[in-house]
Amino acid sequence: MLNNSLPLYKQIANKLKNDILNSGLEHGDAIPPESKLVKMYEVSRVTIRQALKILIDEGLLYSVQGSGTYISHDKIQHNIFRLQGFTEEMGALDNTPSNEIIEFKLMLPPSDVKEILTLSEDKQVYYIKRLRLADKEPLILEESYLPVELFPDLSVEVMKKSKYDYIEKKGHVIDKRYGELVPILPNEELKQIFNLNEHQPLLFLKAFATFQDGLTFEYSNVYYHPNKYAFKFISTKG
């Protein structure tokens, strides 16, 4: 039943939410396209889009450009004290991980990255920006810097798979990750990728990782979808 005290798009959002919850649809299932929803609820396309935006902002739905709108996964409970790759984490949750490479290039690192990686003036790094997805749902935007000298055969195909698996197969032992996790407001790129509004903060991780011998092999900027990730930890009273 619609509540006439609410704006029409909010009434439709509530009705659509109830219909979805009662439909038996599961995570990753598509909901009907906008054209069909317009006919089902007898409202304009603008009203449907406003209603869908509410449910996307709530985290019930997510949109894939050029594909459709889908039922979201539950929030991923990420353990910040466990160092594991995205592929490993998604596999443990029975999700299918994938990576979309947005940018892959050789460059001289920014001064702060050069200092963290302890590189000399002429040493280049790979800069890789990739969107990390589970069951085709965008969850993380990651920017990584890795020394060319350590990984001369790194490629786009490698980065479409598991970066840590590639590194470990080269005989390296990954030991620790040091990071700082802070809330930020999304820029235009992040708002578009994650389908966010400007008032939705997200968590941003600045981190570097080391091998067992203490060598720093990676620096990363990581942006987490605010509706898809929750961070968990255990504190003890000492």
Whether the CB-CB separation of 130 and 159 falls below 8 Å is answered with: yes
In this structure, the answer to whether residues 57 and 84 fall within a common structural domain is no
CATH of the domain at 15: 1.10.10.10
Which residues are within 8 A (CB) of 174 and not within 5 positions of it... i.e. 6 or more apart? 83, 164, 167, 168, 209, 210, 211, 212, 217
Range of the domain at 65: 8-71
The residues that bridge with 204 in the sheet, in sequence order, are: 182, 223
Average pLDDT of span 80-93 = 54
What is the phi-psi region of residue 171: left when phi exceeds 0, alpha when psi lies from -120 to 50, beta otherwise? Answer: left
Task: Provide the domain count of the chain.
Answer: 2
Angle 34-41/8-21 helices, nearest 10 degrees?
Answer: 100
* Residue 85 sits in the same domain as residue 181: yes
Q: Is residue 39 part of a domain?
A: yes
Using alpha carbons, list the distances in angstroms from residue 130 to 13, 73, 124.
32, 21, 19
219: exposed, middle or buried (Cβ count in 10 Å: 0-12, 13-18, 19+): buried
Same-domain check for residues 123 and 206: yes
Q: What is the pLDDT of residue 237?
A: 60
| End-of-domain residue from the set 38, 71, 104 | 71
pLDDT beyond 80 at 89: no
Distance, in Å, from the CA atom of 129 to the CA atom of 95, rounded to the nearest integer, reads: 22
pLDDT value of residue 102: 97
- pLDDT per residue as tens digits for the range 5-15: 788 999 999 88
35 and 139 in a single domain? The answer is: no
**pLDDT digits 0-9 by tens, 16-58:** 888 887 777 777 778 899 999 999 999 999 999 999 988 887 7
Predicted TM-score (pTM) of the model is 0.67
> Which of 71, 93, 109 marks a domain boundary?
71
Strand ranges inside 72-173, DSSP E:
76-79, 97-107, 125-134, 137-147
Q: What is the percent of the chain where pLDDT is above 70?
A: 82
Q: Is the Cα dihedral 3, 5, 8, 13 positive or negative? A: negative
| CATH code at position 210 | 3.40.1410.10
Same domain for 92 and 22, yes or no, is no
199: pLDDT confidence band, cut at 50, 70 and 90? confident
> Do 12 and 96 sit in the same domain of this protein?
no
Q: At 59, is the secondary structure helix, strand, or coil?
A: coil
